[in-house]
Structure 1
Amino acid sequence: MLICAYPFYYLIINTISANDLSANGAVNFLPKNIHFQNYIDVLQLNGLPLAALVTIARTVIGTVLTVLASAFLGFMFTQEKMWHRKLWYRFVVITMYFNAGLIPMFITMKNLQLTNTFWVYILPAIVQPFNIILVKTYVESMPRALQEAAEIDGAGILTVFWKVVLPTCTPILATVAIFSAVAQWNSFQDTLIYITDSKLYSLQYLLYTYINQANSLAQMVKTSSAGSLNMAALATQQTATSIRMTVSVIVVLPILFVYPMFQKYFVKGIMIGSVKG
């Protein structure tokens, strides 16, 4: 536990300690000369509020749609009366082992006119074979009598899904929600590949660029007065080390707080969904 927790603790204490001491590696166990100016400066970066809004929106919308799609497809693949059920199930699973590659994927997104749109973050991530397998295995572990009783009472397939299956799948759906939310929150490669409009930059991509520019920012201010005012102010007040660490904390903390809320569902869901009882 200490090995896992210490890196997060180390990042946090260095972001609230004196920047010169942090840059020299003098802060290891306790914060020194505590201040919070690093967070104030980073949060004032140009474009950060919009990028945060984009990331929150893609995380919420993407997670909800992925959970619903995984739940419905996982449920349908347990229905023997589904037309060519085994064919479609294998068609979905095979995508876990084979894919066309980056260039064909980009061409597909471009032909679908999804590049430079918000939906390029959402649509490709809705159907996740691994999540579908988890839900399918979980549904198969449920008593078949529940669905049969609902069908005897006249419930159709959608009624059974919404009113019988979905309410009883909370643990596995929470597990899928965690997987999806973490993936959406941490993703920046799709922005790098598909997005050129700065208004659609995700938080992780924007902060990733600042991390890469941390050293050059400080050097740029020393050698030239040109450049963005926001970037120059950040570089003069902070060191490259403080920029990297503060940005890392901002990226990690929000999703780190979400995980404990789903912890009890996650453990139960991953165990039941992975091994049929």
Structure 2
Amino acid sequence: MTTTDLRTTAPRFRPSRGDLPFAVLNYAGFTLFALVCGYPFYYLIINSVSANDVAALGDVRLWPVGVHLENYTQILGLPGLASSTLVSVARTVIGTAATVLASAFLGFMFTQERLWKRSLWYRLVIFTMYFNAGLIPVYLTIKSLGLTNNFWVYILPAVVQPFNIILVKTYVESLPRSLQEAAELDGAGIVKIFFRIMLPNMTPILATVAIFSAVAQWNSFQDTLLYVTDQNLYPLQYTLYTYLNQANSLAQAAQNAQGALGAIASAATSQTPTSIRVTVAVIVVLPIIFVYPLFQRYFVKGIMLGAVKG
């Protein structure tokens, strides 16, 4: 029997009358949920490009009013923003790559029964998920390692993430054992097996780990508060965080910086605390939002297979 015959003879699913109301409610419910989740981002965007005097009054709700891009040109022209962006991009790219590689290798090694004291090392890694020494001992450790006011303070402490290791370990255990056994019969060592056999088959779970790590690195600014005082090492999040806290004074400074033009400047494009806050929020959120479509097709598969064994 050919494939065409199978398609012809196979019974077709025919929805009953009771399925239609459920389908309508299902689509309506998820559409409403998506709108509720997406509206805050939409609200920020339309307020950031609307007339500043109207946005300050809270009258921009559904559609932008008096569209202009002055907010972005002025915010992006603030001092230190270019270097901060470079630091954020560097820590996100390097930190994500290091975390993904470490999680992949450790997750793979914890599946190897010949690893000496495998259960002990695995339990010690998981132990750190629930217990830590506290802020002061961690700071003293970072300082003794010479990582204060050092770019690597953004990378090294975040390389080993127990949760990611659990996901990768569970995913590797779901792969056919015969893949590694066949490579071993051909004389491949453990490193060659990892890079040539296992790593290419980990794409879904590694994409999931990459999303987690990239979002965490891009949004992080608390490590800067604790360990960094050199302004050349400030990431974008911390720089915008300081501008966000100084929105009132920054708006006044932006108006004063216009000099003689400030007296005749339109109220629609004059900076206000509200315009600064929404513009900064959009600048912070938009880059990481574009990461999700790149990994979306791997994300669900990776998180499901990495979380459930069998």
Question: What TM-score does the superposition give when structure 2 sets the normalisation length?
Answer: 0.84
After TM superposition, the structure 1 = structure 2 runs for residues 121-270 of structure 1, keeping only pairs within 5 Å, are: 121-218=154-251, 237-270=270-303
> Partners of 2:270 and 2:225 in 1: how far apart?
29
Equivalent position amino acid for 1:8 in 2? F
Aligned residues of 2:254 and 2:271 also touching (Cα < 8 A): no
Gaps of 5+ in 1: none
Q: Does 1:4 align with 2:23?
A: no
Letter of the 2:101 counterpart: L
Give the Cα separation in 2 of the matches to 1:219 and 1:49. 22
Q: Identity over aligned residues, as a percent?
A: 70
Q: What's 1:33 paired with?
A: 66
Q: For residue 62 of structure 1, give the secondary structure of its aligned residue in structure 2.
A: helix
Q: Secondary structure at the match of 1:237?
A: coil
* Residue 220 (structure 1) shift: 6.7
Q: 1:109 aligns with which of 142, 156, 166?
A: 142
**TM-score, L = length of structure 1:** 0.94
Question: Displacement of 1:217 after TM fit?
Answer: 3.2
SS at match of 2:208: helix
Deviations 1:34-87 (A, max 9, x none): 000000000000000000000000000000000000000000000000011000
CA distance in 1: counterparts of 2:42 and 2:271, whole angstroms: 20
Q: Residues 59-98 of structure 1 correspond to what in structure 2 (within 5 A)?
A: 59-98=92-131
Separation in 1, partners of 2:60, 2:270: 18
Kindly provide the CA deviation profile for residues 212-265 of structure 1, in whole angstroms up to 9, marking residues without a partner as x: 11023346789xx7xxx69xx9xx930000000000000000000111110110
Q: Note if contact 2:107-2:172 (Cα within 8 Å) is conserved in structure 1.
A: yes
What stretches of structure 2 of length at least 5 have no aligned partner? Answer: 1-33, 263-268
Shift of 1:103: 1.2
Question: Given residue 206 of structure 1, which amino acid in structure 2 is its aligned partner?
Answer: T
The count of residues paired between Structure 1 and Structure 2 equals 268
CA distance in 2, matches of 1:45, 1:221: 10
Q: Secondary structure at the match of 2:188?
A: coil
C-alpha contact 2:211 2:295 (8 A) present in aligned 1: yes
CA distance in 1, matches of 2:178, 2:102: 24
SS at match of 2:290: helix
Q: Does the residue aligned with 1:169 lie in a helix, a strand or coil?
A: helix
Q: Radius of gyration: which is bigger? A: 2
Q: 1:55 to 1:239 in 2, by over 3 A?
A: same
